[in-house]
Amino acid sequence: MSNLAAQSCTACLPNSPRVSEAEIADLMPQIPDWKIESNGGQVYLHRVFSFPNFKTALAFTNRVGAIAEAAGHHPALLTEWGKVSVSWWTHAIQGLHRNDFIMAAQTDAAFQLHK
């Protein structure tokens, strides 16, 4: 588990700062399988996880959902046969916050349990 995965989310308000380019450069190596993407001006972290069937994909989705609920920070999840797409961003600031990187690292840690 990365150091980032061991951290907890902090409360995020509409005036909370987005991560800077320097912070992104520091954080991305800790979640190397994630990509920063943009759609309609919305920037988010995205990763697709692969599974051998729908049952394990659904179990992973539920695990990520439980982690998200415990942290009070929720992703976009798309569960399909053999894969789960996960996107993290902070709605309150319409961009990326350190919390998104923490949750991506925790998602990676949850995936290790399903390998």
Mean pLDDT, residues 85-92: 95
Classified as helix, coil or strand, 75 is: coil
**pTM of the predicted protein model:** 0.94
Which residues span the domain enclosing 106?
Answer: 19-112
- Tell whether 5 is covered by a domain: no
If one counts the domains in the chain, the total is 1
Q: What is the CATH number of the domain that holds 50?
A: 3.30.1360.20
Which tens digit of pLDDT belongs to each residue from 24-71?
Answer: 999 999 999 999 999 988 999 999 999 999 999 999 999 999 999 999
- Tell whether 14 is covered by a domain: no
- Tell whether 11 is covered by a domain: no
